[in-house]
Amino acid sequence: MSGNTRTTRMWMALVFGLALFGCTALDFDAEHVLPSPPADGLRLASHNVHFIRLDKDVGAWSLADWEQRKAALDASFKHLNADIVGFQEMVSIG
């Protein structure tokens, strides 16, 4: 591996690590208020929806479980007021 590639990977790992740490440092609850983004700012959000098992009526990741999870998802997005949202694991199985 060349020195340039190693340096690039090191910087990428550092940036990813700092972003991950910053996300874990946030503690959102009903009383937490996010500051308004600057006028020229852009607010990004990401959420791991996790999959839905269409062949299961009850239990983990079932249709009933999704009915319980989607209200929290809706509340989170309304609270964050993001301009762009990236979803992870947004798939239905079965």
pLDDT of 66-79, one tens digit each?
Answer: 888 888 888 888 88
pLDDT at 72: 84
pLDDT at 82: 85
Domain count along the chain:
1
CB of 81 closer than 8 Å to CB of 36: no
Give a yes or no: residue 88 inside a domain: yes
Structure-block tokens of residue 6: 């190693």
**Structural domain boundaries enclosing 87:** 3-29+42-93
Give a yes or no: residue 73 inside a domain: yes
Name the pLDDT band for 15 (thresholds 50, 70, 90). Answer: confident
pLDDT at 19: 63
Element (H, E) at 46: strand 44-48
Alpha-carbon distance 57 to 59, whole Å? 7
Give a yes or no: residue 36 inside a domain: no
Give a yes or no: residue 37 inside a domain: no
Taking residues 46-61, report their average pLDDT. Answer: 86
Give a yes or no: residue 34 inside a domain: no
Give a yes or no: residue 51 inside a domain: yes
Give a yes or no: residue 35 inside a domain: no
This model's pTM is above 0.75 = no
Give a yes or no: residue 23 inside a domain: yes
